[in-house]
Amino acid sequence: MTDDRLDLPQGTLDLLILKALSLEPMHGWAISERLQQVSRAALQVPQGSLYPALHRLERRGWIKAEWGASDNNRRAKYYQLSRTGRKQLDAETEAWARLTTAVALVLDMG
Amino acid sequence: MFSELWSDLRYRVRALVHRDALEHELDDELRFHVEREAEKYERVGMPRGEALRRAHLALGGVELTKEQSRETRGTLMLETIWQDVRYAVRRLTRTPVFTITAIATLALGVSGTTAMFSIADTLLLRPLPYPTGDRLMVVQTVSGHSTSGTVSSYPDYLDWRASQHSFDDMAALAQRNFVLVRKDARRVPAALVSASFFPTFGVTAEFGRRFSDADDQPGAPAVMVVSDAFARDEFGDPRTAVGQSVVLNGASRAIVGVIPDRSRYPSSVEVWMPIETGGYDGNHTRRGDRDLEVFAALRPNVSLDAARHDLATIATRIAHEYPESNAEVSTMTTPLRDRYVSSARAALTAMIGATILVLLIACANVAALQLARAVTRTREIAVRAAIGASGPRIVRQLITENLLLALVSGALGAVLALWARNLMARVVAPNVPAWMTFDLDGRALLFALSMSILTGLAFGIVPTMRLAGVRATDLLRGGVLGSSRARLQRMLVVVEIALSIILVVGAALSLESVLRMQQIPLGLDPTGVLAFDVTLQGPRYDTPAARATLVASVVDRLRSIDGVMSAGATDRMPIKGCCSQFSARIEGQTVASGHEPLITGIIATSGYFAALGIHVVAGRAFTDGDDAHAPPVSVINETFARKYWPRGDAIGHHVNGAMIVGVVQDIKQTSLTAAPEPQFFQPFAQNPWTRATFAVRVRGDPLAVVAQARRAVREVDAAMPVFNVQPLQRLVEQSILPTRSLGRLLGAFGGIALLLAATGLYGLISFLVERRTRELGLRVALGAEPGRVARLVVREASVLAAIGAVSGIAVAILAARWLESKLYGVSAMQPAIYVIAAGVLGAAALAASYGPARRASRADPMVALRME
């Protein structure tokens, strides 16, 4: 199966999750759907690594989880950004911007 | 950063505590995901089955995701350990006989070493209860070429203290018994001390004050310092004791301070008073009269060697100035701690050696058991390897099992040590002060813990390496073990036997020493003799005549008690210890002044020799007529007579001006085992000392006359306390007791060691017989007599026992050589001891192989063949 979708660079999955959750609390499946939609299906979010990543973020206290009813009234685990998570998102967004700018500069040097 | 750590910790704790809940949540979460994903595919027209398959695929495998999620919990390591522990518990409970044997064996080993650790720790390392602690030194006088130090004279002490540059301070002390009369007359152990005594020991008063220099002047008001316990006993509250007065030896004395019980020195003393006002009966000015103990606190930056040199220089100067008393006198300085350690050192070393041997044997035994068990475990391990347990995981599992075994044994061992330490302390250090308790403190528990982990690894490592090497393919070969395993087991059993024989030899030697001590001729007959002490101090007994009269009247009354055959008094009972040393001017001997021989002098009344059953060899014993008005006389012992009058004409000559009227046989005076030394006796009435010990020879039980003896004293002086009332026989037994206890403990250890070695041998032989069931069955089938088969098995055991015994005896001889120098009357070079040890071991080996041999001889060929 040929696939022109991009693999996520190491460490960016956490950033994407935090960004997705900064808009509204979501459950795991919704996060994976959202990431695919927003990236116009260009990003390959491995569903298998989504849950370990969520639990890692929860352990660090960047996101909080609680059980709630989903749109069709089923129990789902909703994740939402914590205060430290929001700070972390800002820091990582800025770091990412600096990184991409720097990489772009290097690639532009002719 | 901190909040992240905190959140991390909270999450992990929750993950550990609510493991199951978390698992459920993970299940639910993933199930929800798969459902939603599948619905997505169903909406585009995919059949439900296909949609679910796709959903699972997209997730990349539910189980894998779960495993990865679990790893992020950060508790995986703990969970595997917990799994390993539960598995180990299951394994161990499935083989209860092995587990109980192993735990009991190791607990014995750990308890012994832990108890010894706490004893050695207290004796050698725990700080002394005096603030100057390990800087405290004992300074003793050494005469001539003697290697041991004795008490010192007051003028010498004063000169040392004035001239030295090595110590913060020096102090002098003399122990005395005082009589306290409050509710009734009571003996109070007291110490006469210099004012510098408490500062030297660094002891401060908890209430009131210590002595000042002004207190220790002739004519100063009579004051004293008391222990907390004394103050509590006499006044209820130690705070109220300061300022009170009590009557000691008939004179009133004010309490100026109370010191804590823990800081008492000597630890049995209750009251301290200044030498100058305490009625010091020694001579303040004569350098030849020595009866003070001297202590010194080393300056922090001065070495012991420098201090010794300092004192040696001073002693040489004094010797020049006062040759008649000090020509051959030097000093000896040793740490105060050595007092507690030196008497214990031999027993301590022996017991540490014995407990380590038992621990080693226990380890070897459990290792051998583990190896035998490995046979049945090969299959289990091979199965686990086949279903995918990794090599490191199997090793970790086996180590967990061994450590668990070791820790359980360690805990049990620590509990056993609680009980064993007092038993062992009685052997190692029977006469330690009350503050010296052998607690199982944190250090001892840490020791027990490290000991158990160490042993767990020691006995576990070989079986683990063996088992970890098991491959799945071994399963196909039916888990047959190579012969090398049995070789290792054989080696372990041989080591066990060798080690246990060392202990058996040690026990045999100490018990032999006890027998020898019991047979020592005492020179007297202690059976049927009652002994008790009184102290003759205070204004009533200030004059020699008063002391002589009291002792004579008490002896008279004792004689008239029904059933008493004879009675007398002395200043020092035999065996208990020795006495004053006098420089003796012996008629016919010409020696320079200051070089006279030192002779032990004993004071005795008429009737003393008869009461103790000391045989008069020539001349006569003392009579009631040898009193202060009669010409001075003396009685000497045989050694004295032989040394100076080898022709047997001692009687009629003079020692220190007293005519020799009799020669008595040698008695054991200083101790049970000391060689006899020249000794001379003076009549009590001609040199009445301030203490007296009465001896009453009775028909029958000496304890039957205790009440009458007390009454006899009371009739003469109602305020005179009687103490140390005991049969003389008990003194003899007390001298033997340390050796007897050592023998019993070594015997117990030897027995345990033998039992362990026999168990090891039994296990090994059973194992070998089981492995050879087929071969033995065939032998029986081919017509071998059962007896022959049994002999085959016994021979196997005997060879192992013989190898162990021979190598063990080689080491045992070295151990015995050392023990020989510490025990009375035994020699390492006695074939009998080794023959007995080898015999005991042989019997144990035979007993161990009896069962397996019987089983082997009954090997049924059919059973053997059906086994495959």
**Looking at chain B, which residue has its C-alpha nearest residue A74?**
B32
Place of tokens 């979460």: B29
Average pLDDT, integer, range B377-396: 71
Do the chains contact at A61 and B58, CB–CB below 8 Å? no
Q: What is the pLDDT of residue B19?
A: 76
- Tens digit of each residue's pLDDT (9 = 90 or more) over B779-809: 777 777 777 878 888 888 888 889 998 999 9
Q: What is the pLDDT of residue A103?
A: 87
Say whether pLDDT at B254 is over 90. yes
Average pLDDT, integer, range B426-433: 74
pTM for the full model? Answer: 0.71
Q: Is omega for the bond preceding B266 within 30 degrees of 0, making it cis?
A: yes
- Tens digit of each residue's pLDDT (9 = 90 or more) over B307-345: 999 999 999 999 999 888 888 888 999 999 888 777 777
Nearest to B60 by CA among A107, A44, A5, A67: A44
**Which residues, in sequence order, are CB contacts of B297 under 8 Å at separation 6+?**
B132, B135, B136, B137, B167, B168, B169, B170, B200, B201, B202
B35 contacts chain A (CB < 8 A)? yes
Which carries the bigger pLDDT value, residue B552 or residue B431?
B552
Q: What is the pLDDT of residue B487?
A: 79
Say whether pLDDT at B472 is over 60. no
Instruction: Tell me if B197 sits within 8 A of B136, measured CB to CB.
Output: no
Q: What is the pLDDT of residue B30?
A: 85
A59 contacts chain B (CB < 8 A)? yes
Say whether pLDDT at A99 is over 60. yes
Q: What is the pLDDT of residue B441?
A: 78
Place of tokens 């001298």: B735
Instruction: Tell me if B858 sits within 8 A of B786, measured CB to CB.
Output: yes
Q: What is the pLDDT of residue B473?
A: 57
- Tens digit of each residue's pLDDT (9 = 90 or more) over B184-212: 778 899 999 999 999 999 999 999 999 99
**Which residues, in sequence order, are CB contacts of B796 under 8 Å at separation 6+?**
B765, B768, B849
Classify the C-alpha dihedral B420-B423-B427-B429 as positive or negative. positive
A74 contacts chain B (CB < 8 A)? yes
Average pLDDT, integer, range A38-47: 74
Q: What is the pLDDT of residue B255?
A: 95
Mean pLDDT rounded to a whole number for chain B: 84
* Cβ neighbours of A48 in B, within 8 Å: 59-61, 64-65, 68
Q: What is the pLDDT of residue B604?
A: 93
Q: What is the pLDDT of residue B636?
A: 93
Considering CB atoms only, which of A49, A59, A77 is closest to B29? A77
Residue B222 DSSP one-character state: -
B21 contacts chain A (CB < 8 A)? no
Average pLDDT, integer, range B667-692: 86
Residue B472 C-alpha from the chain's centroid? 53
Average pLDDT, integer, range B461-476: 63
Q: Where are the alpha helices (DSSP H) in B129-227?
A: 154-163, 197-201
Average pLDDT, integer, range A94-98: 88
Which percentage of chain B shows pLDDT scores above 70? 93
Say whether pLDDT at B635 is over 60. yes
Instruction: Tell me if B489 sits within 8 A of B767, measured CB to CB.
Output: yes
* Cβ neighbours of B22 in A, within 8 Å: none
* Cβ neighbours of B33 in A, within 8 Å: 27-29, 47, 51
Average pLDDT, integer, range A1-14: 64
- Distance (Å) from the alpha carbon of B59 to chain A's nearest alpha carbon: 5
pLDDT range class, residue B63, cuts 50, 70, 90:
confident
Average pLDDT, integer, range B843-860: 81
* Cβ neighbours of B25 in A, within 8 Å: 67, 77
Say whether pLDDT at B722 is over 80. yes
Average pLDDT, integer, range B453-460: 80
Instruction: Tell me if B695 sits within 8 A of B530, measured CB to CB.
Output: yes
Say whether pLDDT at B112 is over 60. yes
Nearest to B732 by CA among B432, B525, B424, B427: B525
Query: Which parts of B667-822 are beta strand (E)?
Result: 679-683, 691-698, 723-727
Q: What is the pLDDT of residue B631?
A: 93
Residue B299 DSSP one-character state: -
- Distance (Å) from the alpha carbon of A49 to chain B's nearest alpha carbon: 7
Average pLDDT, integer, range A66-86: 85
pLDDT range class, residue B836, cuts 50, 70, 90:
confident
Q: What is the pLDDT of residue B274?
A: 94
Say whether pLDDT at B480 is over 60. no
Instruction: Tell me if B417 sits within 8 A of B110, measured CB to CB.
Output: yes
pLDDT range class, residue B482, cuts 50, 70, 90:
very low
Instruction: Tell me if B773 sits within 8 A of B859, measured CB to CB.
Output: yes
Say whether pLDDT at B679 is over 50. yes
Q: What is the pLDDT of residue B564?
A: 93
Say whether pLDDT at B299 is over 90. yes
Do the chains contact at B32 and A84, CB–CB below 8 Å? no
pLDDT range class, residue B281, cuts 50, 70, 90:
low
Which percentage of chain A shows pLDDT scores above 70? 88
CA distance B767 to B486: 9
pLDDT range class, residue B375, cuts 50, 70, 90:
low
Q: What is the pLDDT of residue B853?
A: 82
